[in-house]
Structure 1
Amino acid sequence: MEDMEDLLNIIKVCWPKFTISKQDLLYPTQELVVRFYNNFIEDYNEKVTYLTGVPVITDFNVIDCEPEQQLFIQLSRLLGEIDGLKFTLADIYRPLPVRTKNFFKICIHLVVFTENLQNETDELSRNVFQMKQDVTNLSAEQQTLLSEINDNAENKAELEENINLLKLHYVTTKDSFKEIKVLKAVRQKAFLEKKNLLENCKCELQNGEHELHYLENKEKDLLEQKITENEHQNILHTLNAMKNEFDTLNVDDDDIGSGLIYENQVLQHTKDLIRLLDNCDFTVLTQIKKLIQKEDEFKILLNTVDKLTSTRLNPNKLERIKTEEKLVVVKQQLADLQNEFKNIKDSYEISLNTFLQDYQKFKDYIEDESNTNCNAILCYKKNIEELKERCNELKKAFATQYIRVSSVEKKVLDEFQETLLRFKQMEE
């Protein structure tokens, strides 16, 4: 009974519109089996035609053949003899419960089998279609990735070219910087030489000023000096020397004879005074008082002393004049050197500042460009690596899907071949 209930449930599942009861299975009639088998042939043919494109059961169109006989011919080729159970006309005209139930089971089994096969085929078809769609999408994505890889390769080549140009520009700038450093060293050397010359001039100027100051002090001392006892003795010796010189000049020059005679008189008078001074005790103060009393004689002596002093000071004055002229020249040279040094220093500082500014700007520009290019290269390399990994993953996925699709297609084709072979065997 349970077997009969299961059969009824399966029939209702396969053909919801087909009416059958347990009583019909217990007492089958010709009308029931004809209706069942016709429904079976229609449904089975529809499913097989959907799967293979060719119906497995065809109409024979036998002349003067009853529908029951035509139904028998159609079913006998399909059912034939299964496990010793052979389909006969009696199963249509006089159906027995057990045989009818068994043939119904066979028919339902064929319907369920073809329906399952149809479902599997639909599922495989959907999978194949989806896989083909995935393959198409993967191919399009692969082309996109290849295009991106080519673009990245072109960008990489362009960046490498820019890097080479920047490196060349950097080398050129580095050489220029070395040349400027050499020029700077040369100018620095010239600057040091002129600085040393300026220091020497300053030292020479200081020495000249010191010498001038010394001469001025010496001249001041000479002008302000007072006659002492020792100086008085020196004056006497000088007067004697002058007397001898005047005596010599008296022989050589007659025009100044009168002057020499006068001078000799003065000298003689002075000599007499000195002799008188030698014969008496005196002090400088007493002698000065006596000289004041004898104003005329002292004036003559004073004039003589002035001449002698002038004669002694002339070389010093000449030396002072020469020193002053030399100092003027040295001061002028020093001023010229200071001006030249200032001009060179200003020009050098301007050139150096300009160069340092240009070099710093260029250095910043090179660093910015280098950082930008390095970042772009790293980004491109990273994108290329990601694209390569993604492409490899897509290739692997494509290969896996292709193998899967191929295996599924092979399986479907094999099942189709087996089904067709079975159908052909059934028809035979």
Structure 2
Amino acid sequence: MKILVVGGGGREHALVWKLRQSPKVDQIFCAPGNAGISQIATCVNIPAGDVYGLLNFAQQQQIDLTVVGPEIPLTNGIVDIFEQAGLKIFGPTRAAAEIEGSKALAKEIMAKYNIPTARYGIFADAAQAKEYIKQYGAPCVVKADGLAAGKGVIVAMDEETALAAVDIIMAQRAFGQAGDKVVIEEYLQGEEVSVLAFVEGDTIIPMVASQDHKRVGDHDTGPNTGGMGAYAPAPLYTPELAEIVERDILQPTVKALAAEGRPYRGVLYAGLMITDAGPKVLEFNARFGDPETQPVLSLLETDLVDIIEAILEGRLASQPVTWKNGAAVCVVMAAQGYPGNYERGQEIKGLNNLPSGIEVFHAGTALKDGKIVTDGGRVLGVTAVGTDIADAIKKAYQGVAAIHFAGAHYRTDIGQKALEKLKGA
């Protein structure tokens, strides 16, 4: 079969890598792809957001299955458009993807259906937003309502920062139209965990839980990023906790979306905070997470094409999904200046001299004069599978040490929370 993967980041490289392992697959295209993806698939120069350009390509090439990576084409209705044209595509419809496209909508659904989340207020007026902050005080979390590539969240530990965050989002328009409204939430104490699940109708099959590292600096310091690394499985996420999350969060959310006329099919990502009062939802995403996909898919034993076909054919309930033993760790190597302004075009060296067992998923790379160069903020996701978390961490950082480009920076503590959790167990 011929597959088209939409997107050009580390998540999409991991998807192409995993799909390529299926004996059912003859050819994979990726639009727009990147330098790493081009080594294992045919890259097509169509932006991920150009849904009609992608449709034309899929029709011309007689693509058997399209797999969507990023959120923008999903919220632009790519699934609806492909399905209307009679093409197979994996992902939620525009209406279902709005659970990610609008944080306000997600909050309203959670409130209506008693899905545990932080106390919140939604505001289209900056002055009212500031009054709410003054009323409830800090710490709090100020979020742009719309899509902001994982960066539209400002954690404010004091009132001054919170008030300034409203101006950054609503007046300075740091995240563009995403800042038409803000959601202000209470600050939740606890530890975060990412739970991705395959969803079809009432059937939910959770993947191994993972933990992302959002802040740019070690020990969760500095501004938020799209994610500086992840590991799976997360020891914090016990079988008992998994049962609670499925019963109180995942099942009710999927039922709520169906009740609201937004039936869900695809991958649902729940970003959770594990508080003393139990798990609470920080956010929902309507697709595979990045960088969580890199370690999670590294541990998936089942053919991903089999799972996707089962979802599209309405038989996920009878599809086995199995996972490898051990653990996987992904360390993101970023460009100098990220998550602010960063340089492009730095040559990347060492990619051909990696220790065995390391997969490097390209996020922001390009080919220039026959060389692989940096072409994004998050450049590479160096990923390793080990017998346990400690082994996977060691291998991943051995991979990082072998790679060089000017200005490269990365966190040195990816997975440390897991080690601490295991020591305390």
TM-score class, shorter: under 0.3
- Bigger-Rg structure (1/2): 1
Q: TM-score, length-normalised on structure 2?
A: 0.14
Bigger relative contact order, structure 1 or 2 (CA pairs below 8 A, ≥6 apart)? 1
More helix by share: 1
